[in-house]
Amino acid sequence: MSENLQSRRSFITSILTLGAAGLSASIIYPIIKYLTPPKQREVEVTNVSAGKLNDMENDSYKIVRFGNKPVILIKTDKGDLKALSAQCTHLDCTVQYKKSEGVIWCACHNGKYDLNGRNISGPPPRPLDPYLVKIKGDEIFISKKV
């Protein structure tokens, strides 16, 4: 009888222990995960790393993701860095750097911008929005112009 009671007791204790552990885990795990800084730190992307400075040759470009938008990063033949929105202001095609002419070019309707983003020919109605380029060590950062 007492042995039976004993085993019943230990059964209940083990259920309670397991359950309590489960409850704590179910509460604590999501909270810890919640508090872990998310990949995108803040609501609005304000800063994006665009790779190493030395990985980019002079007179070349690359498209960098900035939140939901593409940004074109150009290293001019003199080694200056320029970052501009890569969305053509005409119909949102992604623009590219045309080495031979030294302009930013949109293949869709032959729109052209100079390296400061000013629309110089073709249908684009507005200049490309500029972004700020900052260099920290040898890493390039692009940030929103305020």
Partner 1 sequence: MKRRIMLAIPILIIYLIPLSAYGATDQCYTCHSALEDKESKLFAEDIHFKKGISCSGCHGGDNTTEDNDAAMNKEKGFIGVPKGNKITEVCARCHASEKMMKSFGSKLPVNQFDNLINSVHGKTSTAGGGRIVQCTTCHTAHGIKSVKDPLSPVYATNIPKTCSKCHADANYMRTYNPTLAVDQYTQYLTSVHGKLNSTGDPKPAQCASCHGSHDIKPVKDIKSKVYPVNLPYTCSGCHSNKEYMAQYKIPTDQFEKYARSVHGQALLVKNDPGAPACNSCHGNHGAAPPGIESISKVCGTCHALNEELFSASPHKAAFDRKGYPECETCHGNHEIITATNKLLGVDKDGVCIRCHGDQNSSGYKSAYIMRKLIDSLDETKQSAMILINEAEQKGMEITEAKFKLRDINQVKLEARTQVHTFDPAKFKDIVGKGLVISRDATADAKVAIHEYYFRRVGLGVSVFLISLLAFGLFLYLRRIEKK
Partner 2 sequence: MKKYFAQTYKWIDERLDLTSLGHFIEKKYVPIHAHSIWYYFGGVSLFFFLIQVLTGILLLFYYKGSADLAFESIQFIMSKVQFGWLIRSIHAWAANLFILSVFIHMFSVFFEKSYRKPRELTWVTGVFLFFMTLAFGFSGYLLPWNKLAFFATKVGTDIAGNIPIIGDVMKGFLRGGDDVTGATLSRFFGFHVALFPGIFTILLVIHIIMVQRQGMSEPLDIESSPNAEKKSMPFFPNFMLRDLLLWLIVLNVLAILAVFFPADLGEKADPFSSAPAGIKPEWYFLFMFQTLKYIPAKIFIMDGELLGIVLFGLAGLLWVLVPFWDTQSSKGLRNRKINYIGLFAVAFIIVLTILGWIS
From partner 2, partner 1, none, interface partner of 137 (C-beta below 5 to 8 A by class) = none
CA angle (129 as vertex; 119, 84 as ends), nearest 5:
90
CA 84/CA 76 separation, integer angstroms: 13
Contact 132, 73 (CB under 8 A): no
Burial 114-125 (b: 16+ CB within 10 A, else e): eeebebeeeebe
Which element (helix H / strand E) includes 11?
A: helix 2-35
Residue 9 in the binding site for partner 1 (CB under 8 A) = yes
From partner 2, partner 1, none, interface partner of 8 (C-beta below 5 to 8 A by class) = partner 1
Q: Which is nearer to partner 1, 25 or 132 (CB)?
A: 25
Residue 68 in the binding site for partner 2 (CB under 8 A) = no
User: Which chain residues interact with partner 1 by CB under 8 A?
Assistant: 8-9, 11-12, 15-16, 18-23, 25-26, 40, 65, 67-68, 70, 90, 93-94, 107-110, 122-125
User: Which chain residues interact with partner 2 by CB under 8 A?
Assistant: 23, 26, 30-31, 33-36, 38-40, 42-44
